[in-house]
Structure 1
């Protein structure tokens, strides 16, 4: 017995056209939202950040690699860990397969974690990711952009909520962390030799970037959240 209602082609087309009206409204609303996102004001980066990369120490400005825009995937991978987070790995798997389309549009994408560079490089080799990956170990970068929480270093904040708000959400079943690493994505702009922070998102703010989930959303079985998320070489 089919798990879904079975109807005639005519009935199916009628239902599909009704859904299409809602899809188009959603697309127009999303276009308006992204236009509003691009109009956000920006903050000048005053602090000098340095990172460990495959060619030695680099600055935040260096990460742009000569382009105007920089997208940083804050990858959960702490100094005490031997491998990176499964969820952040899933996001890395969903990045564009080749960065040339981003580069042609003045945009560089990198990953940054607090794990030492040697651990990062070993895990990156295992997973086969080609995007540049840098270590922010020993710097304030992760704390300043609220993807590492430690009250001994800085006030707790995640997804624009303070510790009290996070704890209230946690009590309601939300798994936001108040200590340790958390996922995030930040965007920067380079103009006239200066760097500006233009956008950051956290938690489910990355959902639109997960192409695998968007494809599964089109299927009858959906995302199948009951299936354990694993590293792509462990299925």
Structure 2
């Protein structure tokens, strides 16, 4: 432990100082939330098709009769053997969340490009109940900035998180993929059963939509670190004594932790 050890009175004073910074952050967050509501929107005229547990669906169908739709762009490509580990960690909070949102006229739905059979099997494995649709065969992922082609990756370049990315220089293992193999991206790719190039043609994000008088509108999207607030584990770790305290990829799918690492027993004391 590298913290100063002080009396309770000294700690209270220090905590009050931090409280002011936290309050300022909260106020600023409220201001940014208002700015989101002031964003213009884009009318959606393209007829996107999805596959769900209930069969073929349109984008309007994903609203499930509500006026607002929040889509989590879950990284699970057709070539993946399992869903992205990071997306899986984020999605673990969706089970209870989607019920509360539904009570507030908002539908939460994950969307991935993998076939619905793959999504359904993984959803069963994870014990998830939130809606999950396959966008495979449509332009939905590409149009909303989370799905890219090999040609974009190796010949044209792509735009993710509102920034252009250069093309990968080589398709072989001597290129970008080799340099990223032992990076967090490379580790995540291996945990989905894919190579780095294939893995990174899918990207994470979330998008918001509204329907009014039968007309669909796109109101918001965020990507990359913009998703941090959705990753509930980190919100808790930021308040733990050692913070995030990470030097490598430490998280796993919730059914992959060893008992000594992740299984939680009852902490009640009688």
Could you tell me the TM-score, scaled by structure 1's length?
A: 0.90
Q: Does structure 1 residue 233 correspond to structure 2 residue 255? A: yes
Check the 8 A contact 1:94/1:212 in 2, yes or no: no
Partner of residue 214, structure 1: 235
Per mean C-alpha deviation after superposition, the further-off stretch among 98-107 and 146-155 is 146-155
Distance 1:4 1:94 in 2: 32
Q: Does structure 1 residue 160 correspond to structure 2 residue 162? A: yes
CA offsets per residue over residues 188-214 of structure 1, 9 Å max, x none? 001110110000000010111122211
Per mean C-alpha deviation after superposition, the further-off stretch among 91-100 and 120-129 is 91-100
Please, what is the CA RMSD of the aligned residues? Answer: 2.4
CA offsets per residue over residues 162-183 of structure 1, 9 Å max, x none? 224999xx99x996x9851010
Distance 1:228 1:155 in 2: 31
Match of 2:221 among 188, 197, 200: 200
CA offsets per residue over residues 8-66 of structure 1, 9 Å max, x none? 11110110011111111111011000110111000000100010111110000000000
Cα separation, partners in 2 of 1:166 and 1:221, compared to 1, 3 Å: farther
Distance 1:92 1:228 in 2: 17
Check the 8 A contact 2:157/2:167 in 1, yes or no: no
Partner of residue 187, structure 1: 208
Tell me the SS of whatever aligns to 1:17. Answer: helix
Partner of residue 10, structure 1: 9
- Matched residues, number: 230
Partner of residue 41, structure 1: 40
Within 5 A, what are the aligned runs for 1:136-175?
Answer: 136-150=135-149, 152=151, 156-164=158-166
Partner of residue 58, structure 1: 57
Distance 2:76 2:40 in 1: 30
Cα separation, partners in 2 of 1:174 and 1:118, compared to 1, 3 Å: closer
Deviation of 1:95 (Å) = 2.6
Check the 8 A contact 2:72/2:110 in 1, yes or no: yes
Within 5 A, what are the aligned runs for 1:105-124?
Answer: 105-124=104-123
Distance 2:226 2:137 in 1: 27
Deviation of 1:100 (Å) = 2.7
Distance 2:135 2:246 in 1: 32
Partner of residue 87, structure 1: 86
Distance 2:95 2:233 in 1: 12
Could you tell me the TM-score, scaled by structure 2's length?
A: 0.79
* Long gaps (5+) in structure 1: none
